[in-house]
Structure 1
Amino acid sequence: MCRNIRPLHNFEPEATTQEVRDAALQYVRKVSGMPKPSQANTEVFERAVAEIAHTTEHLLAELVTSAPPKDREVEREKARARNAKRFPQSAAS
């Protein structure tokens, strides 16, 4: 239904509004059990996404850490390496 929600805190550059909204959408999909709401639930679904995104932006703005920011590209490469190890290409291809 939805992918894992990725950490957004302590990255350089900071998380974009779209990334925060995407995470909120994933959360609402997971909690509601609906990948797409019915017409009757669209308004409440979208309102929940907006409220969670808003709260998440406040959370990210106020969190503090002494750790240096992580580089998005470096973290992306680490994830690719982990995935390559977990899901090696089939030799029979």
Structure 2
Amino acid sequence: MCRNIHQLHNFEPPATGDEIHAAALQYVRKVAGSTRPSQANQAAFDRAVAAVAAATAELLGELVTTAPPKNREAEAAKARARAEKRYAS
């Protein structure tokens, strides 16, 4: 489930709200142990996603680095190359 959470810090352009929300959703799904909460738990699930997304956005806004920003396309190409090597048959 959590394999879809990607590093969000130090990219140009910065992480979008959708990327932050997707990471928060994956985190809450992992912690809750389910991808879809029951109707009884939906409100708590949604509040948790919103809280994690807010905390993530705050963290990303406060982090500082001297490293140059990473290129999203270059990082994605590296990840694809690693996957090809790992899953080659």
TMscore range, shorter length: over 0.9
Superposed counterparts of 1:46-85, under 5 Å = 46-85=46-85
- In the alignment, structure 1 segments of 5+ residues that lack a partner are none
Q: Deviations over 1:45-88 (max 9, x none)?
A: 00000011011001000100000000000000000000000111
- Aligned residues with identical type, % of pairs: 60
Q: Measure the CA separation in 2 of the matches of 1:55 and 1:35.
A: 21
Partner in structure 2 of residue 6 of structure 1: 6
Aligned-residue offset at 1:34: 1.2
TM-score by length of 1: 0.91
Partner in structure 2 of residue 33 of structure 1: 33
Please tell me the root mean square deviation across aligned C-alpha atoms, in Å.
0.8
Moved over 2 A (4+): none
Aligned length: 88
Aligned-residue offset at 1:18: 0.4
1:79 partner letter: A
Aligned pair 1:15/2:15, yes or no? yes
2:23 partner letter: A
Q: Measure the CA separation in 2 of the matches of 1:55 and 1:30.
A: 17
TM-score by length of 2: 0.95
Please say which structure displays the higher CA radius of gyration.
1
- In the alignment, structure 2 segments of 5+ residues that lack a partner are none
Partner in structure 2 of residue 86 of structure 1: 86
